[in-house]
């Protein structure tokens, strides 16, 4: 990688699942200290498991960014306890707020905006909230709706005195996110920083599964039509390297793009190793 490409990777963030914290002895063996590690909320995980993972990451010098999935929160009491424990036990100051996959909420929260308006974040001194952005399509929302919803959430966070950021769903087509950033994101973001999501070290089969689940229609069709040649570009260094090189000029020049976010898709150590090596001077 060129120096400019390496510079674009510095300050990267990475996705994890709670099981990673159970398996990995010391995250410092895999990541630079101060790395933002997002903690996904899988269907079978409990808030207590996420709190434990966040606390371990904090103890080991990382910055935990837990997902809070609205439709998996059972009650106001559960949300209040969850947020307070993240703040008290893991010193969390930043959250990623999501609506979530369940078709119906199990409690009173249907979307990320409702979490934001709960009042519990300000009470726990949460300073920053992130929202998901969907440059290449949404599994449910169509047309310009995802951009309109994101705009409303960014505005609501700012009104509450909380810094707003966005992290994109993983992308497969560099041209589409460059166009989306210029024509959709920047006009509504008001300078809110964006992390560009890219897949890490992942098999083509896994990538196709995730792309289908996430509603990445155009890029998924492109992958299928191109067959193995393009699918292989989504395998670890091939894919990640290709996407990072194509998108590094955007990361380096755009004031409202803060870097790359790597989705590990169950291959945390391999993805972390690739990102750490790519960012090294």
Report the DSSP pairing between strands 128-133 and 163-168. Answer: parallel
Write the pLDDT tens digit of every residue in 140-166: 555 677 788 899 999 999 988 999 999
Q: Counting beta carbons within 10 angstroms of the beta carbon of residue 19, is it exposed (0 to 12), middle (13 to 18) or buried (19 or more)? A: middle
Distances, alpha carbon 117 to alpha carbons 27, 120, 147, in Å: 33, 8, 20
Instruction: Say yes or no: domain 3-274 is CATH 3.20.20.220.
Output: yes
Model pLDDT, residue 236: 39
User: Which helix (H) or strand (E) is 66 found in, with range?
Assistant: strand 63-69
**103 vs 51: which has the higher pLDDT:** 51
Reduced to 3 states (helix: H, G, I; strand: E, B; else coil), residue 155 is helix
Per-residue pLDDT at 230? 46
Average pLDDT over residues 21-49: 96
By the 8 A CB rule, do 254 and 166 touch?
A: no
Q: Is the pLDDT of residue 189 over 80?
A: yes
204-263: pLDDT as tens digits: 565 665 555 555 545 444 444 444 344 444 433 447 888 999 999 999 999 999 999 999
Question: Per-residue pLDDT averaged across 29-48, rounded?
Answer: 96
Tens of pLDDT along 2-14?
999 999 999 999 9
């Amino acid at each position: 990688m060129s120096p400019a490409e390496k510079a674009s990777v510095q300050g990267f963030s990475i996705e994890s699942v709670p099981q990673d914290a159970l398996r990995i002895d010391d995250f410092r063996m895999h990541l630079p200290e101060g790395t933002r590690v997002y903690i996904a909320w899988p269907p079978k995980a409990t808030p207590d498991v996420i709190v434990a993972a966040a606390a371990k990451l904090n103890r080991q010098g990382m910055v935990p960014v837990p997902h809070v999935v609205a439709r998996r929160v059972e009650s106001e009491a559960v949300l209040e306890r969850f947020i307070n424990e993240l703040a008290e036990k893991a010193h969390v100051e930043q959250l990623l707020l999501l609506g979530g996959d369940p078709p119906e909420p199990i409690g009173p929260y249907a979307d990320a905006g409702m979490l934001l308006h709960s009042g519990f974040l300000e009470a726990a001194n949460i300073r920053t909230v992130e929202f998901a952005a969907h440059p290449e399509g949404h599994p449910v929302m169509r047309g310009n709706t995802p951009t309109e919803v994101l705009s409303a959430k960014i505005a609501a966070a700012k009104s509450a005195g909380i810094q707003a950021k966005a992290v994109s769903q993983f992308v497969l087509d560099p041209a589409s996110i460059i166009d989306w950033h210029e024509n959709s994101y920047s006009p509504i973001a008001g300078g809110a920083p964006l992390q560009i999501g890219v897949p890490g070290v992942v098999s083509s089969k896994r990538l196709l599964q995730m792309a289908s689940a996430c509603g990445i229609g155009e890029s998924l069709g492109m992958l299928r039509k191109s067959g193995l040649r393009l699918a292989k570009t989504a395998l670890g260094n091939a894919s990640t390297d290709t996407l990072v090189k194509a998108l590094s000029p955007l990361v380096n020049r755009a004031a409202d793009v803060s870097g790359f976010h790597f989705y590990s898709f169950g291959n945390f150590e391999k993805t972390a190793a690739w990102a750490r090596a790519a960012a090294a001077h």
